[in-house]
Structure 1
């Protein structure tokens, strides 16, 4: 009888090939593991928030609310965007993932997908994301989508590979999720030039806060693979403190903007203070022992809180 155990070959292999013996395609399961649906809310929520900001901002929007186009924008910003970015990440993270207990059963480590297949899938998903973006939001939204895809590439792929550059890894993700995401949602109905700088700064801190705990999840594997992330360089305590400080600054800035009537009507300040306190506590709790699913729950909770605030506004 032949053993069904998979054996990962770590000996020299041709460039671009991820070799594992005994692996077979898993169909739907492989697709789910590749696209990781639990990531999708992390980028979809900021876009929804940007839509809400634009909808309630003073003055007339430049475009009417069209639900079909909004749905297309969310498909682009969620499933398609993550499918592309994660495929690129997997293509260049084999050495790290094979050392990572959380990732060593992933399709590319099991040998179901080779690097050229992952990059081909990334190109296909990225192209589809841009097409959906063009139909839903026009040139500006498409440019923003392309910008996030480029950030995803330079985060994972050499020679830049920001993933292995302390501080830059955080800044790259904070920019993509906290600034470009909400700005993209805003641009669906309003001029991007009208996007408040104060919201961009708030989003930058929120994006950093959401990304920092992910570094703690994989710090051991990153250290073993020689990848100098911010967590590897400065340690988990510093990363945890920076995450809480960033989240605190984002919450306080949002409250401050509401007191000035720039984000929400002032009469909703008591409700916002309550929800902001709950979100702060949720962050402290969920980031204490972070997992990707916990952080996705946090992102979804953030979106629900904003919708709850905006409905009566």
Structure 2
């Protein structure tokens, strides 16, 4: 069962939930001692692995029609066959059970945030809401990937991050979703799924992605007081910009560089936050 869970978890994307959790936690910590709390490690495992099994397990269960002609299910991801669906359903129930147990030990704020994560993760793919088929709601509901970070922040501080951080996160994750949906336009259209790129067209989807990532860049650079390393965030709008000005670039290949960029910049942000917090403590 564990090997099957690994296959459906899409390990390339573990960083999108686990990394968000780690960065959100680092944003709220007061001392390095906060990283030795047991709940940090419990949710670290949950958001790096189990959360991804749940998100993509639900997605695979309901997306059979969409996935059957999509070559990435053969090249980069595991394609669910009918004989695996019962086992997949058992795994989804298992993770729901674990999630319900975790809810029992959470504060009210943590329960709300954790429940929002579960609901967005489920209804992004599952009917009757199935946000992924609703233009503009598809990328907005992708805020589910930010929820682990907000949840992590609340574990330490029992509060929410500042509004400007929440807004910046919205533009980043929305751009990520739109950009990732563009390579699937042909297969989504054939399956009758109307995503934002299907609805507005690939060119306008790239323009919207560019705008969203430029807004994120302005927020990040401003919050970082124009420090040199903060300008690395401009790597994100560079992706759609290159595709808009160069016809010979293949988004299907370019897209798979994004996990590396996210991992590198997320790791850099985590280290910057830890160093900053430690410096503050030295002079406290």
Bin for the TM-score computed over the shorter chain = 0.7 to 0.9
Alignment of 1:175-190 (within 5 A): 175-178=143-146, 180-190=147-157
Q: Does structure 1 residue 73 correspond to structure 2 residue 43? A: yes
Alignment of 1:1-313 (within 5 A): 30-55=4-29, 64-103=34-73, 109-114=80-85, 116-129=86-99, 131=101, 138-173=107-142, 175-178=143-146, 180-193=147-160, 195-259=161-225, 269-278=226-235, 281=238, 289-290=251-252, 293-313=256-276
Query: What secondary structure does 2:14 align onto?
Result: helix
Taking structure 1 as reference, are residues 310 and 124 closer, same or farther at Cα in structure 2, changes over 3 Å only?
Answer: same
Taking structure 1 as reference, are residues 198 and 309 closer, same or farther at Cα in structure 2, changes over 3 Å only?
Answer: same
CA distance in 2, matches of 1:50, 1:31: 26
Aligned residues: 269
Normalising by the residue count of structure 1, what TM-score does the alignment of the two structures yield?
A: 0.75
Taking structure 1 as reference, are residues 281 and 129 closer, same or farther at Cα in structure 2, changes over 3 Å only?
Answer: farther
Q: Which has the larger radius of gyration?
A: 1
Structure 1, unpaired ranges of 5+: 1-26, 260-268
Structure 2, unpaired ranges of 5+: 244-248, 277-284
* Per-residue deviation, residues 31-62 of structure 1 (Å, max 9, x unmatched): 43212111110112222221122126xxx99x
Taking structure 1 as reference, are residues 29 and 50 closer, same or farther at Cα in structure 2, changes over 3 Å only?
Answer: closer
**Structure number having the greater helix percentage:** 2
Would you say the 8 A contact 2:21–2:152 is kept in 1? yes
CA distance in 2, matches of 1:139, 1:107: 37
Normalising by the residue count of structure 2, what TM-score does the alignment of the two structures yield?
A: 0.82
User: RMSD value over aligned CA atoms?
Assistant: 3.0
CA distance in 1, matches of 2:242, 2:272: 23
